[in-house]
A and B are shown apart, each in its own frame.
Chain A
Amino acid sequence: MQAATSHSIAYQGEFSDPVRGAQSVFRAVMDATARPGSIHQLADLCTPPAPLTASAAAIIATLADAETPVWLDSALARSEAVRDWIVFHTGAPVTVHQDEASFALVAAPQSLAALNGFSLGTQEYPDRSTTLILQVSDLTKGAALVLEGPGVNGTASIAPSPMPLHFAAQWRDNRAGFPRGVDLILAGPGCVAALPRTTRLAQREA
């Protein structure tokens, strides 16, 4: 039966050990956020239905719960299995409103037209913002981004791919609203990096 298959996919694929899995993935995300540009291996992964990737699923399983609405980009929202998997394993409500989302899962970053549709927080509560989890296929082979800011000793470099169109301009606008703004978690295959809102792009290397 079609329905039964889709449900059994939704019920499976969480951390083999949820307590340790969430801890190790969180530490990787924390270290990545504290040191923008650094790439951290994820020791524990989930096995979600496609097109949700193993590392993005591990990150959302670590961070999301019933208190954090999750927004899915159209590539993910099309898959009922992905929605069921997230709802079953995290309890997080799936929202269609970008500005309500605590987390946004993006399977096709290249189609992400704007960052400022998401919640940017308020001047009093800049923490009430959306954290975007971008599924990227690579963190070292894309166009290089040179990073500066807190957590970076001098400059750091990272080359994620794919990234949103006109990312440098979008990110400059995001940075200009500080302390308001979104934070990015880049979920590569088995690894993670992050661009918190404080990070500046020094220049784009050819």
Chain B
Amino acid sequence: MTALADMTDTGKLATYNFAYLDEQTKRMIRRAILKGIAIPGYQVPFASREMPMPYGWGTGGVQVTAAIIGPDDVLKVIDQGADDTTNAVSIRAFFAKTAGVETTTATAEASIIQTRHRIPEMPLTEGQVLVYQVPIPEPLRFLEPRETETRKMHALEEYGLMHVKLYEDIARNGHIATTYAYPVKVEGRYVMDPSPTPKFDNPKMHRSEALQLFGAGREKRIYAIPPHTEVVSLDFEDHPFEVQHFDQPCALCGGEQVYLDEVVLDDRGGRMFVCSDTDHCENRCAAGHRGELAGDDLFDGKDKGVETEAST
């Protein structure tokens, strides 16, 4: 097999199959993925394997990526929007080593994007696959702990309990206080957990151009949303679904209508809000956009002809 031969030649992990998993495991995962696509939002059980990383570090996403990735793919991995955090760097390195694939941090260049809890700000395109790492795939789990019961609730399309939960939010807080893992209904049938993405990202799932695959390793479930599929966040007529709004733009790139992370600057209450999507922020900075805390020394020689903050 050339895959193995290539690896032997370059002294890499000759004892591993391409993309780490054995072929029988990949076939089992591939069958689950096809069922998931055919039944959008339905959680397909699969025989999740132990991976060389602990549960909670994306074992489900890694198994899905390993089952679909090919030598021509370009892989991007993000952790809370960032390309440069431990989880993202480790998983990128894992596939660079076991599959020999090219990796990138640029959203537009990637054919597969594995994500932990964010959807990139840049709209995804046809041909891209977004792989979510999912901790708890069952949206009804905190309302009903028994799998036998939640499975029956999905079978009977009995989702009243979820609306009661959202109603209790309103009764206690005056608004729906769920801010992440906000439940959605897929193609008018299955209620689905979009993984702990902020609800800010929910509208991006609706009729997305990209195929979205979800892998939960510990919970042994795979589910999917095909492209151009209805994904509706649950709400009430008098309390419609709303995304988070931020009072200020990104402190580095000045971006608005993006999801921001809060960064504490000192012990006197100083803080800044910056783009959670690092690739989006870097692209905007490179294009000359400036936020109020973007030090110009960061952009030495790159800001010719670009409007910068007036310094005093």
| Residues of A participating in the B interface, judged by any CB pair closer than 8 Å | 17-20, 22-24, 26-27, 29-31, 33-35, 62-65, 67-68, 102, 122-127, 129, 131, 149-153, 178-179, 183, 196-198
Q: Which of B189, B224, B227 contacts A178 (CB 8 A)?
A: B189
Residue of chain B at shortest CB distance from A61:
B27
Q: Is the CB of A17 within 8 A of B30?
A: no
Bound form: Cα–Cα A67–B28 in Å: 9
Q: Is the CB of B23 within 8 A of A18?
A: yes
Q: Is the CB of A150 within 8 A of B228?
A: yes
- 8 smallest CB-CB distances across A and B, nearest first, come from A196-B38, A151-B226, A127-B35, A123-B155, A150-B229, A150-B226, A34-B211, A34-B226
Residue of chain A at shortest CB distance from B24:
A65
- Between A and B, 15 residue pairs with Cβ closer than 8 Å are A17-B2, A18-B1, A19-B4, A23-B18, A30-B30, A63-B34, A124-B151, A125-B151, A131-B34, A150-B187, A150-B225, A150-B229, A151-B227, A183-B38, A198-B38
- Find residues 11-33 in chain B having any chain A CB closer than 8 Å to their own CB: 17-18, 23-24, 26-28, 30-33
- Size category, B interface: 35 or more
Q: Is the CB of A20 within 8 A of B70?
A: yes
Residues of chain A contacted by B23 (CB below 8 angstroms)? 18-19, 22
Residues of chain A contacted by B33 (CB below 8 angstroms)? 30
Residue of chain A at shortest CB distance from B212:
A34
Residues of chain B contacted by A127 (CB below 8 angstroms)? 32, 35-36, 39, 42, 44-45
Q: Is the CB of A150 within 8 A of B40?
A: yes
Q: Is the CB of A22 within 8 A of B39?
A: no
Residues of chain A contacted by B229 (CB below 8 angstroms)? 150-151
Bound form: Cα–Cα A53–B70 in Å: 24
Residue of chain A at shortest CB distance from B99:
A23
Bound form: Cα–Cα A24–B18 in Å: 13
Q: Is the CB of B68 within 8 A of A27?
A: yes
Q: Is the CB of B34 within 8 A of A183?
A: yes
Bound form: Cα–Cα A97–B113 in Å: 41
Residue of chain A at shortest CB distance from B73:
A27
Bound form: Cα–Cα A125–B28 in Å: 16
For residue B37, CB closer than 8 A to chain A, the reply is yes
Residues of chain A contacted by B36 (CB below 8 angstroms)? 127
Q: Is the CB of B37 within 8 A of A34?
A: yes
For residue B71, CB closer than 8 A to chain A, the reply is yes
Q: Which of A18, A20, A68 has the most CB of B within 10 A?
A: A20
Bound form: Cα–Cα A31–B44 in Å: 18
Q: Which of A63, A64, A122 has the most CB of B within 10 A?
A: A63
Q: Which of B39, B224, B227 contacts A179 (CB 8 A)?
A: B39
Q: How far is the CB of A196 from chain B (nearest CB, A)?
A: 4
Q: Is the CB of A23 within 8 A of B42?
A: no
Extra contacts besides A22-B23, A198-B39 (16): CB < 8 Å? A20-B70, A23-B26, A23-B69, A26-B68, A35-B226, A35-B227, A64-B27, A65-B24, A65-B28, A102-B31, A124-B154, A126-B42, A149-B187, A150-B187, A179-B190, A198-B187
Bound form: Cα–Cα A67–B31 in Å: 11
Q: How far is the CB of B211 from chain A (nearest CB, A)?
A: 5
Bound form: Cα–Cα A20–B40 in Å: 27
1/0 per residue B194-221: CB within 8 Å of A?
0000000000000000010000000000
Q: A30-B30, A30-B34, A63-B27 are in contact. Are A126 and B39 (CB under 8 A)?
A: yes
Q: How far is the CB of B182 from chain A (nearest CB, A)?
A: 21
